[in-house]
Amino acid sequence: MFKAYENPVYDYIKSPDQDADTLVHHPLVIVGAGPVGLAAGLDAAINGIPAIILDDNNTVSVGSRAVCYSKRALEVLDRLGCAKRMVDKGVIWKMGKVFFKDQLVTSFDLLPEEGHEQPAFINLQQYYLEQYMVDRSDELDNINIRWKNRVTVVDNDADSNIVTLTIETPDGPYQISTDWLIVADGANSSVRSMLGLAMEGKTFEDRFLIADIIMKADFPSERWFSFDPSYHKGQSTLLHSQSDNVWRLDFQLGWDKDPEEEEKPENIIPRVKAMMGDNVEFELEWASVYTFMCRRMERFRQGRVIFVGDAAHQVSPFGARGANSGFQDTDNLLWKLKLVMDGKAPDALIDSYCAEREYAADENLLNSTRSTDFISPKSNTSLQFRNATLELSKDYHFAQKLVNSGRLSDAAFLTESPLNTADEDAFEGNMVAGAVMDDAPIQGDQDERWALKVFANQFQLLYFIDNASTLDESTARQLLAMTQGSIPIQPVVVSTSGTAPQGIKTIQDIKRLLSKRYDAKNGTCYLTRPDQHVAGRWRTLDSSKISQALNTATCNG
């Protein structure tokens, strides 16, 4: 539409499957090469699963679309090998400010403490993210992205546990089959429609205009949300920056506005000038009108078909809970799929994906609905309450906590997960069973600098001790024995000095932040999952309890 970025165009390449005499079978197929589908493919590759990704287009997204990526999403993407380019290119931010009638009423800091590798948030146009993810896919041997491959029929055969796909291409249709189908084809999922599945929830009667403009400005890298500003009376606006001098402007319009009319440049430009000033020079890059929707599928799994991202759940853009929660979906799913495909865990482990991520989706929907209700009050009473809250927040802390301009995306703590082992011992802090693991600066025995560089991609047993060199022989034997199970557990000794014997992985807690954040004392143990969630914790090492916790975390007991 108003595009400055030149989308890369990827070649359609005819697959050998299209000329095969018999139906070709693949262990895993993913529909959709957007951010969440690409994340699923990258995670599959890291787990050693060959993946086919089918997409009906041959380029990355048109327009910046999703732009805000949270700390947790960046941690997931770092594990997949994409985060560094994103952070280097994106705009880093952590401060948000809220204005009411042109006055600052409250602000917030999304990451007030130090000692984390990834920032609280970055802003980066979605087309860059997708391009980086495609580039990363090209580096791996077991991902095959098939552009201009549109799925037209899905046969989800419950009896055979085989999914058969009919695919349309420029060279005509062909079919393939797969053991597992991951559906990441977005909020208007065609696969979901083919299977006759619904998304239940709420559509809010309000419309919003996104206008991405190219503009040189010296505003700080912050999120500015305005209620009832003088230049847009009675409505709300949002302003924050992206890379390449692109600025995201968001205007509340009201339900009575015509989307086609509002997307016309002659109607956008006056709004931008009213907000930014008549003398500001800018170019339109992209614009879109959208409506809030908060909804999800009843069940994210249908036999061998699994839904992720917007195909499974949809929330309003305020709070950046769309793509960020989609990355957490795939982060949760792929290690489980690997264990089931290898015969090391029962099918019930895939059902735990539903239990955990449906719980997380409900949390996102609740937060998104509350944000929407505050931004777009549905009655005069609600509006008066909202405005009184904003007025009071200038001077009173209790009112500041009630202001809701979009609760920003955060990691889902899966405290109700059936995979958790409950505490038997007394602990303090946030690292409960189901929590996403905290990062901290370390010195690793392979020159790692951050804990989450080590805590990933496998089950691990963290053993805390002041001096790793004093680890006794009996404890070392117990730790090493954990590597020999059908589902190995890698021991990691966390210390402030010394090196563990017999080659056991050792990291130095150089600022003692790990011990603080994990409330660790000598002998404290944490069993952690491949997706960097805590599975269980104890004050002393007990191999039988750890073995049982591993069985619980993999649905094997």
Task: List, in sequence order, the alpha helices (H) in 227-343.
Answer: 259-262, 265-276, 322-341
DSSP 203-226: EEEEEEEEEEEE------S-EEEE
Cα-Cα-Cα-Cα dihedral sign, residues 24, 354, 460, 547: negative
| Inter-helix orientation angle 71-79/322-341, to 10° | 40
Task: Answer yes or no: are the C-beta atoms of 391 and 397 closer than 8 Å.
Answer: no
Q: What is the pLDDT of residue 63?
A: 73
The type of residue at 222 is E
- Looking at the chain, the number of H-run helices and the number of E-run strands are 15, 25
Task: Answer yes or no: are the C-beta atoms of 53 and 145 closer than 8 Å.
Answer: yes
The type of residue at 250 is D
Each residue's pLDDT, cut to its tens digit, for the chain (557 residues) gives 444 578 899 999 999 999 999 999 999 999 999 999 999 999 999 999 999 999 999 999 887 678 899 999 999 999 999 999 999 999 999 999 999 999 999 999 999 999 999 999 999 999 999 999 999 999 999 999 999 999 999 999 888 899 999 999 999 999 999 999 999 999 999 999 999 999 998 877 788 999 999 998 888 999 999 999 999 999 999 999 999 999 999 999 988 889 889 999 999 999 999 999 988 899 998 899 988 788 999 999 999 999 999 999 998 776 677 789 999 999 999 999 999 999 999 999 999 999 999 999 999 888 888 888 898 888 999 999 999 999 999 999 999 999 988 877 788 899 999 999 999 999 999 999 999 999 999 999 999 999 999 999 999 999 999 999 999 999 999 999 999 999 999 999 999 999 999 999 999 999 999 999 999 999 999 999 999 999 999 999 999 999 999 999 999 98
Task: Answer yes or no: are the C-beta atoms of 546 and 421 closer than 8 Å.
Answer: no
Give which of 352, 365, 361, 362 is closest to 301, Cα–Cα: 352
The total of other beta-carbon atoms located within 10 Å of residue 328's CB is 30
**What is each CA distance from 435 to 14, 338, 419, 438, in whole angstroms?**
44, 22, 12, 9
Task: Answer yes or no: are the C-beta atoms of 489 and 461 closer than 8 Å.
Answer: yes
Predicted TM-score of the model (pTM):
0.95
Segment holding 543, helix H or strand E = helix 543-553
Q: What is the pLDDT of residue 292?
A: 78
Paired tokens of 379: 């009655």
Give which of 63, 59, 26 is closest to 41, Cα–Cα: 26
Strand ranges (E), 236-308: 236-241, 246-252, 283-297, 301-302, 305-307
The residues with which 166 forms a beta bridge, in sequence order, are 153, 175
Give which of 464, 470, 461 is closest to 522, Cα–Cα: 464
* 3-class secondary-structure state, position 68: strand
Task: List, in sequence order, the alpha helices (H) in 139-215.
Answer: 190-194
**What is each CA distance from 343 to 447, 486, 556, in whole angstroms?**
35, 10, 11
The type of residue at 264 is K
Q: What is the pLDDT of residue 91?
A: 96
Question: Which residues have C-beta within 8 Å of that of residue 409, sequence separation ≥ 6?
Answer: 68, 70, 72, 73, 319, 320, 321, 324, 325, 364
Paired tokens of 245: 């001098």
Paired tokens of 485: 């199970």
Q: What are phi and psi of 265, to 5 degrees?
A: -55, -40
Tell me the pairing of strands 95-100 and 223-227: parallel
Tell me the pairing of strands 103-109 and 95-100: antiparallel
Q: What is the pLDDT of residue 4?
A: 58
Q: Which domains does the chain have, with CATH numbers?
A: 24-82+112-196+294-367 (3.50.50.60), 443-553 (3.40.30.10)
**What is each CA distance from 254 to 210, 236, 238, 291, 543, in whole angstroms?**
13, 10, 15, 10, 60
Count Cα atoms within 13 angstroms, Cβ side, for 234. 3
